[in-house]
Amino acid sequence: MQTELDRWFIHEILVHEEALMRFLHRHWPHRDELHDLRQELYTRIYEAGAKSRPTQPRAFLFASARHLMTDRLRRGKVVSIEPMGDFEPSLVLVDEVSPERWCGGRQALRRLADAFDRLPDRCREVVWLRRVEELSQKDVASRLGISEKTVEKHIAKGMRLLADALYTGEAPARAQSGAADAAARRQAD
């Protein structure tokens, strides 16, 4: 005995089977899968029709066919990752920290800390708040009572000095106060 859904499916969907098969034949490269594709499509359409009948069944059928082919193509591109067997423990690379690497890391960290300590006071404070405490540029500016543009300049200067110190291996010279700096320039002249 046919239900209303069965009658709808026969009169609105199955009548387009010949056009659907031509469409699938034109667009799907694997001819041996055409019947499975059609069957899966019919299942999807029937289940969707049980929930709500589309107002344009033919358009719904062909749009669903395009979506199904797209889904299948996507699934075909997924590479499954399955173990191929046990690996010999000796073949597994273990990233152990050698004493040389550990010591080199400690030395680089020491150089960075020294370079950071030698930054000008305000520059060091801005870099700390922005990069270590991860405050926004606006928050740093409001906390220190300076403009955001000044924060930008301090960050740029601090990062440049730190990069130079790490690249050359020399910490930046400790900044002098404005008066001491002017006196040092006069002596050099």
Write the pLDDT tens digit of every residue in 132-173. Answer: 888 899 999 999 999 999 999 999 999 898 888 877 766 565
Q: Are 65 and 23 in contact (CB under 8 A)?
A: yes
Mean pLDDT value of segment 45-70: 91
Is 100 within the bounds of a domain? no
pTM for this model (two decimals):
0.41
Domain end position, chosen among 36, 60, 76: 76
pLDDT at 182 over 90: no
* Domains held by the chain: number: 2
Domain end position, chosen among 76, 99, 134: 76
Q: What is the pLDDT of residue 139?
A: 92
CA neighbor of 115 nearest in space, from 154, 168, 153: 168
Domain that holds residue 36: 4-76
For residue 123, what are its two tokens? 């520059």
Write the pLDDT tens digit of every residue in 64-116. Answer: 999 999 888 888 776 666 655 555 555 545 556 677 777 777 787 888 888 88
For residue 183, what are its two tokens? 């006196």
Residues 72 and 10 in one domain: yes
Write the pLDDT tens digit of every residue in 19-35. Answer: 999 999 998 888 888 89
Q: What is the pLDDT of residue 102?
A: 72
Is 87 within the bounds of a domain? no
What is the DSSP track for 130-176?
IIIS---HHHHHHHHT--HHHHHHHHHHHHHHHHHHHHHS-PPPPPP
Q: What is the pLDDT of residue 91?
A: 52
Q: What is the pLDDT of residue 189?
A: 38
Q: What is the pLDDT of residue 75?
A: 81
Is 155 within the bounds of a domain? yes
Q: Which helix (H) or strand (E) holds 46?
A: helix 34-51
We report the CATH number of the domain holding residue 131 as 1.10.10.10
Is 97 within the bounds of a domain? no
Distance between CA atoms of residues 103 and 97, nearest Å: 10
For residue 145, what are its two tokens? 């009572």
Q: What is the pLDDT of residue 30?
A: 85
Q: What is the pLDDT of residue 113?
A: 86
CA neighbor of 72 nearest in space, from 47, 116, 39, 102: 39
Residues 72 and 132 in one domain: no
Q: Are 162 and 112 in contact (CB under 8 A)?
A: yes
Tell me the residue type at 87. Answer: F
Q: What is the pLDDT of residue 114?
A: 87
Give, in degrees to the nearest 5, the angle at Cα 100 between 94 and 106. Answer: 105
Residues 8 and 71 in one domain: yes
Is 118 within the bounds of a domain? yes
